[in-house]
Amino acid sequence: MGGQVTKQVERRKALSVQKKRLVDLQHNSGDQFPGSEYRPSDRKNWMAGLDPSKVHINEMIWPGTHDSATNKIGLRFVTRPFAQCQSLSIYKQLVLGTRVVDIRVNEERRVCHGILATYSVDVVMNDVKKFLSETQSEVIILEIRTEFGHQDPPEFDKYLEEQLGEYLIHQDDHVFGKTIGELLPRRVICVWKPRKSPAPKGGSALWSAGYLKDNWIDTDLPSTKFESNLKHLSEQPPVSTRNFFYRVENTVTPQADNPVLCVKPVTNRIHTYARLFIAQCFSKGCADRLQIYSTDFIDGDFVDACVGLTYARVEGKA
């Protein structure tokens, strides 16, 4: 018992030090970067607002959400706080400006997070198609994977093609150097990551796992995650020379041996430093590698930061 108490005291001290490190970094370095003052007039149509004929797929900063379809997961006030990473539906996230969604499914085609399941993936598809029907130039990266500990849903690749066929951008390395305008009217890059089923092949309507990479680490310590994100990002090729998407997640994860197990208070430890991270990318010389930037509980300011840097790149200011 005494050892456990000592461990918790040490963790609290470590967390306090980590929080102060980020506070001091923001105070001393600031969170300004090229495009940081830019605000899109219409987040729902922010890609259209930047001129699709000028915006290349590989130069955008894609605002993304982590565990995107968990807004209704579990039982409210009971299990939901331990698994919910977003409070908005997929449709509302897209309207807010989100352009990369992370969906986990089980063998029954239900969205899940670990052992907790929520609504059918049909709900996600309907939200995506509703948004696409209301816009003309917005491109979405839809990542769908079989959740750890579950089996692949049967014939799921066929299901995805049937649901999104007319919108799907086919797997092709040349897509990265094209503008949005060159890809229209197709507007969905769907990355399907099965566990055991065959992976999508080159030229097919779906994209394989290797086209969306990240370096996720399991920690609830904000400065540790912040610094790990910078380190791994700096090791990537510049966006102009690579034929895959690379994601940075501005999130931290509750740990089983910590008293705070609910997602929101833990991930809030890093949530407010999204702009600081972008500013540090410029300071460390790796801003030309940043591409997909994801978060828990996405808000308008996070979207604006991503769109602002995209604007700066398109205008040749970053």
- pTM of the entire predicted model: 0.96
CA distance 60 to 284: 20
Backbone angles phi, psi at 103, to 5 degrees: -115, 130
pLDDT score at 258 = 83
- Say whether 120 sits in a helix, a strand or coil: strand
* Torsion over CA: 117, 119, 122, 126 (sign): negative
Q: Which helix (H) or strand (E) holds 275?
A: helix 274-283
Among 212, 86, 190, 200, smallest CA distance to 142 is for: 190
CA distance 298 to 96: 9
Residue pair 50/310 in contact (Cβ under 8 Å)? The answer is: yes
pLDDT of the chain, 318 residues: tens digit per residue: 556 667 777 888 999 999 999 999 999 999 999 999 999 999 999 999 999 999 999 999 999 999 999 999 999 989 999 999 999 999 999 999 999 999 999 999 999 999 999 999 999 999 999 999 999 999 999 999 999 999 999 999 999 999 999 999 999 999 999 999 999 999 999 999 999 999 999 999 999 999 999 999 999 999 999 999 999 999 999 999 999 999 999 999 999 888 889 999 999 999 999 999 999 999 999 999 999 999 999 999 999 999 999 999 999 999
Give pLDDT tens digits for 246-292.
999 999 999 988 888 999 999 999 999 999 999 999 999 999 999 99
Q: Give the HSE-up count for residue 31: Cα atoms under 13 Å, Cβ half-sphere.
A: 17
Beta strands in the chain (DSSP E): 62-65, 100-105, 110-113, 116-120, 140-146, 188-193, 212-214, 245-250, 292-295
